[in-house]
Structure 1
Amino acid sequence: MEYKTEKLSNHLEFKNGKKKPNELGKYPVFGGNGIFSSSNEFNDETTIIIGRVGAYCGSVHFSKNKCWVSDNAISAKVKNQNADILYFYYLLKNTRLNKMSIGTSQPLLTQNILNNILTKVFDTKIQRQISCILSALDQKIKTNDKIIANLEEQAQAIFRSWFVDFEPFQDGKFVESELGLIPEGWKVGKLGKSKLGKLIRSGIDDFEGEKIYIATADVSDANIIKNDVMITVSDRPSRANMQPRPLSVWFAKMKDSRKLILVNDLDRHILDSMIFSTGFAGIAANPNSVFFLWTYLISNEFDRVKNSYCQGTTMQAINNTNINKILIIVPADEILEMFSNIVRPMFDLVSKLKYQNQKLAETRDTLLPKLMSGEIDVSGINIDTQDESYE
């Protein structure tokens, strides 16, 4: 495939973002780490967003819709209306912009740096073929994410109805407890030490070869977003010392850090090939309580309670002693079993979709450099390039 080696300035117009308006609204606000707020105004649309400064310097995002690009990001738009903006989005994703930043303590990308980057650029037809291949994978991931969010919302709605508002149990007798009135026959237990489950101690099983080390930075919300650090038993960070267990739930100990992992018994890719950081606390749950615990952990209420028990001067975090100060309702066994039977199919599907997303992302990331370099020739492939659905 023919290409030209040109400066990005020949194809993209870069512009610094602006301080976000104070009033919230319907438009997403993008920073270096993607969407972080909303605004009642927009300053861009159909644009590439590049992290300009700090920890997310060089990260790349895309918005098809109207949005606000904040002052810690740079926007990029194509100069030629016939050019494919998604192609340039993927080109920038493949450029490792974080390696081109200036500054030591505070990494910084400037428009001048971006304008002068030399890169291979294919003609418009090839651009569209490449972007269609990659965006089809991203669109499938996005579709799966929407299904996952819907399933988790359904499970949380049932949890709130049963274990917060006690709606199915209003005709029964209630008794006083440390958490207020609860149905008779239910108990109050400690999060890390009850019949629901027990805290997992640090320490890992011996293993041969390599495994993937998952640090807290590799998790965002309830998703493992990075899994490329390989370790061995003898050559690993001291923090790589937590063993995933079947039917366990995990959360980051640090304050204001929403990073959670569910290890279903279906998640063999986690159980067989990963080691977690000691920055996570894990609870080995009983079969009928794992999804009860997980649905509690992904609630805003757990974030609030966990943060209230975090301690420390520079980096506040919760320790095992304080985890066991968190009180949680322990429903009757038959109620736990009923709840588990209802939500288990939901979370089994979530596990399958997350694994599928992992494989889709691996395929995309493998194809990306090969497509951008021309190693994979798409000129003879018949691809429908009319689909503009990716956002």
Structure 2
Amino acid sequence: MSLTPHKLGEIATITSSKRIFFNEYVDSGVPFYRSKEIIQFFNNETNSQPLYIAEAKYSQIKEKFGVPKINDLLLTSVGTIGVPYLVKDDNPFYFKDGNLTWFRDLEKKVVPKYFFYLLQTPSTRSLLNTRAKGSSQPALTIESLKDIELAFHNLEAQRKIVDILSGYDDLIENNRRRIELLEESARLLYREWFVHFRFPGHEHSEIKDALPSGWIKAKLSDVADVNHRTIGRNYQGPIKYIDISAVTPGRINLAQEYDFAEAPSRAQRVVKHGDILWSCVRPNRRSHAIVWKPAENLIASTGFAVITPTHLPTSYLYHAITTDDYVGYLSNNARGVAYPAVTGTDFENSRIVKPLPQIVQLFDDIVEPVLTQIYILNEGNVRLAQSRDILLPKLMNGEVAV
């Protein structure tokens, strides 16, 4: 099937936003996106530190200049180049000028989601990066984007390609929503039993010193080890390395493969099934996750506290050390201005509630299978994404006919 070249300036109106100043951020209102947020959305990561502008400011901009609407597209254009975001609904938001470029009126010349996929091919990514200017902070200008030429299928073929690739994305999204529901069900059960004390048999339990009878406050070091496994300096061979940037709330998003001799110097923490990773840097960002059925050679950065449960199951301990109160404890103990951080000792000295063993066991009997189901769904999404990413460039360059 023949492809037709078009300059991007021919298929869309390419522009940016009106400038929003730092003092115009507010505590709540209309979401405000930068490149960071767009990259997080693209990777299905949680935005743990959202920014907002006032609704009145948004309404003023919308009336005078317009705002992104369904099927418009934003593209990261500074630093990390070429990550696309297709607007899927009419929920209001605005975005940072310079960081992001706005493609409007796509529907007049192209199927918007086809263009979204086209921007993800390795050849397009490479082309965008070669057109970026600047060494320390590469950037794509609006004028340079207008002049970039890409090859497009006809509209009928574009729709077929979108149908094929959307099938993968729909399955991934369905699994992601199932994961969110499973995670929420575990959190709600934890709160019901261990915060509100409505656990099985609670009506027969007396409250003493703000805890049910037989429950105690324990130091984390009494129920878990912190950073007790380190890879030997003489180790030889490949490793899978988790950097602190690879963990977002509840997720390990990437484990990079290295030969150990060439791995970052921070690649030292050995992690095993059931361990809990907690980033020591900026704990208010809640970068923590459970390690479940990992590769044997999985190694984490020394920027993490690796918490290994010894006298409580992972299912209980993870929820106990990710509550708002626990995050507050870590944030209050963080030291440093530019990179506020806690240490393994801060984790060891923290205190958590240790319920009666039979109650914890009942909780684990319910939640451990949930953790396994989450793992299975996540693994399924990895395989779906890999299959989609193999097929995508072949569809786009015509190697696979539609």
Task: State the shift of 1:104 in Å.
Answer: 3.8
Asked if structure 2 preserves the Cα contact closer than 8 Å seen for 1:58 and 1:101, the reply is no
Q: Does 1:63 align with 2:87?
A: yes
Aligned counterpart in structure 2 of residue 234 of structure 1, from 256, 261, 284? 261
Asked if structure 1 preserves the Cα contact closer than 8 Å seen for 2:11 and 2:108, the reply is no
- Classify the secondary structure of the residue corresponding to 2:285: coil
What is the rounded CA distance, in whole Å, between the counterparts of 1:187 and 1:21 in structure 2?
43
Aligned counterpart in structure 1 of residue 163 of structure 2, from 132, 136, 145? 132
What is the rounded CA distance, in whole Å, between the counterparts of 1:352 and 1:158 in structure 2?
21
Task: State the shift of 1:368 in Å.
Answer: 2.5
Distance 1:207 1:361, change over 3 A: farther
What is the rounded CA distance, in whole Å, between the counterparts of 1:99 and 1:305 in structure 2?
46
Partner of 2:376: 352
Aligned counterpart in structure 1 of residue 339 of structure 2, from 315, 330, 334? 315
Task: State the shift of 1:250 in Å.
Answer: 0.8
Task: State the shift of 1:113 in Å.
Answer: 2.2
Task: State the shift of 1:22 in Å.
Answer: 4.8
Task: State the shift of 1:115 in Å.
Answer: 1.3
Output one character per residue of 1:222-259: Cα deviation in whole Å (capped at 9) or x when no partner.
223334x3212322111111212111111111113332
Partner of 1:188: 217
Task: State the shift of 1:331 in Å.
Answer: 1.1
What is the rounded CA distance, in whole Å, between the counterparts of 2:74 and 2:297 in structure 1?
34
Output one character per residue of 1:329-357: Cα deviation in whole Å (capped at 9) or x when no partner.
11111111011012122211111111111
Asked if structure 2 preserves the Cα contact closer than 8 Å seen for 1:219 and 1:260, the reply is yes
Q: How does 1:335-350 map to 2 (within 5 A)?
A: 335-350=359-374
What is the rounded CA distance, in whole Å, between the counterparts of 1:98 and 1:166 in structure 2?
55
Asked if structure 2 preserves the Cα contact closer than 8 Å seen for 1:16 and 1:74, the reply is yes
Indicate the larger mover: 281-290 or 342-351.
281-290
User: What code does the residue aligned with 1:87 have?
Assistant: Y
Partner of 2:175: 144
Partner of 1:12: 12
User: What code does the residue aligned with 2:103 have?
Assistant: A
Output one character per residue of 1:56-101: Cα deviation in whole Å (capped at 9) or x when no partner.
4532212211232312422213445362101101112232245543
What is the rounded CA distance, in whole Å, between the counterparts of 1:318 and 1:324 in structure 2?
11
Partner of 1:280: 304
Q: Does 1:77 align with 2:108?
A: no
Aligned counterpart in structure 2 of residue 263 of structure 1, from 287, 291, 304? 291
Q: Which has the higher helix share?
A: 2
What is the rounded CA distance, in whole Å, between the counterparts of 2:25 and 2:374 in structure 1?
36
Partner of 2:73: 48
Indicate the larger mover: 207-216 or 351-360.
207-216
Partner of 2:47: none
Task: State the shift of 1:12 in Å.
Answer: 2.3
Distance 1:154 1:134, change over 3 A: same
Aligned counterpart in structure 1 of residue 401 of structure 2, from 372, 378, 387? 378
Q: How does 1:326-337 map to 2 (within 5 A)?
A: 326-337=350-361
Q: Does 1:30 align with 2:33?
A: yes
Partner of 2:206: 173
Structure 2 unmatched runs, 5+: 42-49
Asked if structure 1 preserves the Cα contact closer than 8 Å seen for 2:73 and 2:87, the reply is yes
Output one character per residue of 1:275-301: Cα deviation in whole Å (capped at 9) or x when no partner.
222222111124852001122344333
Task: State the shift of 1:314 in Å.
Answer: 3.0
Give the superposed CA RMSD: 2.6
Asked if structure 1 preserves the Cα contact closer than 8 Å seen for 2:241 and 2:299, the reply is yes
Task: State the shift of 1:5 in Å.
Answer: 2.6
Aligned counterpart in structure 1 of residue 141 of structure 2, from 99, 106, 110? 110
- Classify the secondary structure of the residue corresponding to 1:160: helix
Task: State the shift of 1:318 in Å.
Answer: 0.9
Task: State the shift of 1:366 in Å.
Answer: 2.1
Q: Does 1:253 align with 2:280?
A: yes
User: What code does the residue aligned with 1:166 have?
Assistant: F
Q: Could you state the TM-score of these two structures normalised by the residue count of structure 2?
A: 0.82
Output one character per residue of 1:128-162: Cα deviation in whole Å (capped at 9) or x when no partner.
22222222212211111111111111111111111
Q: Does 1:218 align with 2:246?
A: yes
Task: State the shift of 1:273 in Å.
Answer: 5.0
Output one character per residue of 1:288-331: Cα deviation in whole Å (capped at 9) or x when no partner.
52001122344333332221221124322111111122211111
Number of equivalences: 365
Distance 1:330 1:21, change over 3 A: closer
Asked if structure 2 preserves the Cα contact closer than 8 Å seen for 1:101 and 1:108, the reply is yes
Asked if structure 2 preserves the Cα contact closer than 8 Å seen for 1:49 and 1:69, the reply is no
Asked if structure 2 preserves the Cα contact closer than 8 Å seen for 1:77 and 1:85, the reply is no
Task: State the shift of 1:207 in Å.
Answer: 6.8
What is the rounded CA distance, in whole Å, between the counterparts of 1:252 and 1:337 in structure 2?
28
- Classify the secondary structure of the residue corresponding to 1:329: strand
Partner of 1:384: none
User: What code does the residue aligned with 1:6 have?
Assistant: H
Indicate the larger mover: 103-112 or 245-254.
103-112
Q: Could you state the TM-score of these two structures normalised by the residue count of structure 1?
A: 0.84
What is the rounded CA distance, in whole Å, between the counterparts of 1:24 and 1:312 in structure 2?
27
Distance 1:366 1:167, change over 3 A: same
Indicate the larger mover: 280-289 or 240-249.
280-289
